Amino acid sequence: MNKTLDRCDLLITGGQVIDGTGCPAITADVALQGDRIIAVGDLTVEKADAVIDAQGKVITPGFIDVHTHDDRLLLSNSEVTPKLSQGVTTVVVGNCGVSLSPWVSDQAPPPPLDLVISDKNNSAQFSTFHAYSAELTRRPPAINAVPLIGHSTLRCGAMDRLDRPASQAEIKQMRTLLRESLAAGAAGFSTGLFYPPNKAAPAAEVEALARELPAFQGVYATHMRNEGDQLFESLDETFDTARRAGCPVVVSHHKCQSKAVWGRSAESLARIEAAAAEQTVGFDVYPYVAGSTVLLEELIEPSRRIIVSWSTAVPEAGGRDLADIAAEWDCSLAQAMMRLQPGGGIYFCMEEDDVERILAHPMGMIGSDGIPHDTHPHPRLWGTFPRVLGHYSRDRQLFPLEEAVRKMTGLSAQTFGLAGRGVVQAGAFGDLVVFDSSRIADSATFEQPTRAAAGIDCVIVNGAIAWQAGAGTGSRTGRLLKNPRTT
Ligand code: ZN
Ligand code: CU
């Protein structure tokens, strides 16, 4: 049915609208006014200030990257180019137990906190979440942010040593900081129980902190204690902790990470489904068989290949295979790793069948887990979303395009309680992507990891065009999306 409007700020005409809910695409126009979508359908508009012709293109909600480490990137590169260029309009930051704020330690941040918190640049340190939030408001980035507070960040502030459980007094101190952050708008809490700064925290310590979440409708996201031979025990611990704390939980970057569990994703997904029947559970996944983090000796054994992503000791090692470096130095992989520290690595530790099964599961949300400050980053930083749409949906036909879009928009917004986001509907915020579904592709590779995606025509954030014709427009309309109970 045709609808007539007097005017609008921006009109996108004749595209295939995929609305983010999983519904089939429809041919429609989309009208925007201010920061909102005001109409979707067969539209006649008397006067539109700007028009985008989307004939032959797809119009979808802006992508929501539910797993990122972009806390500092939002300030250091306010265009947030690796994300904006692939159609991402919202990032969840502060994952894996690591958040930029509240950082109240005067020590150098231990790995993996050094991936996000820089100790050289004090202007990029924030002792309260409120200070971080104020800075993002003062210097808004091009895209929206949903901030989590990291357990390792809290531990560094409250504890003199990280290799033990926190005392009752330390737990109390961390809870206070977490509560203040949630009251100031943080969306949830994350752990990285796999990593040394967080590892010694027993489930009871995590639970005590996560108990602060329900009052703010906060979400708990976890990089679990183990994604290899203890995968199933870790899933049990995760669901137990969240159930006791009474909060929703997101299993971060679900994977089967070592030989002991390769091929067992059908079982792990069944375990997740069983938990989801009892409590609120979600998970995210990135579309690659390699992971990436700091250099960690325990990741040598499960990996078929390791690429160095950065090294302070040997900067020119970035982008090279650890095996080649070790051969050159005539030493073991572990010794080479030691000499490269501090640094990061890309670990080929998963099987393609597991990655595809996890990606295709209806509960799976897309999260890049990109590490933005590495000199030779994992290509997931620039390529995750187009890779799911192009390689996995169009070329491999793992799922229809509508389902691929739902996994990166509607489902994600629902999981993180982002009202008015993740859908193309009248009344929703004007976060949109226009792309060519026949051309969309990830251009970033393990060899050349910082190339912008192909096929993205236009990215709109809160009603303003932020990316067009392969370049940023200079628009900075991103917002901090606070939890609904922010005081
Ligand atoms: Zn992680
Ligand atoms: Cu992560």
What residue segments make up the domains of the chain, in order of their start? 2-59+436-440+454-470, 63-289+350-378, 291-348
Q: How far is the CA of 67 from the centre of ligand 2 (A)?
A: 6
4 in Cβ contact with 46 (< 8 Å)? yes
**3-state class (DSSP) for residue 433:** strand
Neighbouring-strand partners of residue 88? 63
The CATH fold of domain 63-289+350-378: TIM Barrel (3.20.20)
For the entire predicted model, the pTM comes to 0.98
Q: What's the gap in Å between 93 CA and the centre of ligand 1?
A: 12
pLDDT at site 233: 98
- Name the CATH superfamily, with its identifier, for domain 2-59+436-440+454-470: Urease, subunit C, domain 1 (2.30.40.10)
How far, in Å, CA of 122 to CA of 127, rounded? 11
Per residue in 67-99, pLDDT (tens digit) is 999 999 999 999 999 999 999 999 999 999 999
**Residue range 90-126, pLDDT digits in tens:** 999 999 999 999 999 989 999 999 999 987 767 789 9
Distance CA 29, CA 381 (A): 31
Q: Give the Å distance between the CA of 134 and the centre of ligand 1.
A: 27
**Beta strands 471-472 and 464-468: pairing type?**
antiparallel
Q: How far, in Å, from the CA of 325 to the mean position of ligand 2?
A: 26
Could you tell me the distance, in angstroms and rounded to a whole number, from the CA of residue 20 to the centre of ligand 2? 24
Give kind and range of the element (H or E) at residue 62: none
Phi-psi region of 23 (alpha: psi -120 to 50; beta: other; left: phi over 0): beta
User: Ligand 1 mean position to 257 CA, how many Å?
Assistant: 12
Q: How far is the CA of 96 from the centre of ligand 2 (A)?
A: 5
Ligand 2 centre and the CA of 150: distance in Å? 11
CA of 42 to the centre of ligand 1 (A): 44
Measured in Å, residue 220 CA sits from the centre of ligand 1 at 13
Distance 47 CA to ligand 1 centre (A): 48
Give residue 136 CA to ligand 1 midpoint distance, Å. Answer: 24
CA of 9 to the centre of ligand 1 (A): 41
What residues flank ion ligand 1 with Cβ within 5 A? 96, 223
Distance, CA of 222 to CA of 224 (rounded, Å): 5
Average pLDDT score over residue span 15-36: 98
Task: Answer whether 82's CB lies under 8 Å from 142's CB.
Answer: no
Q: What is the pLDDT of residues 262-319, one digit of tens each?
A: 999 999 999 999 999 999 999 999 999 999 999 999 999 999 999 999 999 999 999 9
How far, in Å, from the CA of 253 to the mean position of ligand 1?
7
Q: Do domains 2-59+436-440+454-470 and 63-289+350-378 have the same CATH topology?
A: no
Measured in Å, residue 376 CA sits from the centre of ligand 2 at 17
Looking at the domain that runs over 291-348, which CATH code has it been given?
3.30.1490.130
139 in helix, strand or coil?
Answer: coil
